[in-house]
Amino acid sequence: MEANIAKNILAVVGVFLTYGILCWRMFSRFRGDKFIEWASITTLLLAVVMAIYKTPNVPSWVMKAMIPLVVLSCWLSVYFGLQQAYHAIRHRKSNRQDEHQAG
């Protein structure tokens, strides 16, 4: 049974390192893009919640404390994604109007 626990711990550490490296690369590549940042944080939080859910003997208050964080992170990701889409649509419309006025 102890080998199984060590295997689970190594798997969790591997997942966190992988997600950590990927998120660090995205943060450095898309600096200032709030949607990418919050979507990455949401993905990490979901991975943490899944790890907590599979871990035995975790107090229930830990899971209850994580759920509001995940929900808030999801809503912030959606907000910044919609904000980015809105700005892209406005920018495209203003470029089209400028082309019509110039031509």
pLDDT one-digit tens code per residue, 12-67: 777 778 877 877 777 777 777 888 888 888 888 888 888 888 877 878 888 888 88
Q: pLDDT tens-digit profile of 31-41?
A: 778 888 888 88
Supply the pLDDT for residue 102. Answer: 62
How far apart are the C-alpha atoms of 43 and 32, rounded to whole Å? 18
Which tokens is 74 given? 């999801």
CA 91, 96, 101, 103 dihedral sign is positive
CB 56 within 8 A of CB 7: no
- Whether residue 44 contacts residue 24, with contact meaning beta carbons closer than 8 Å, is answered with no
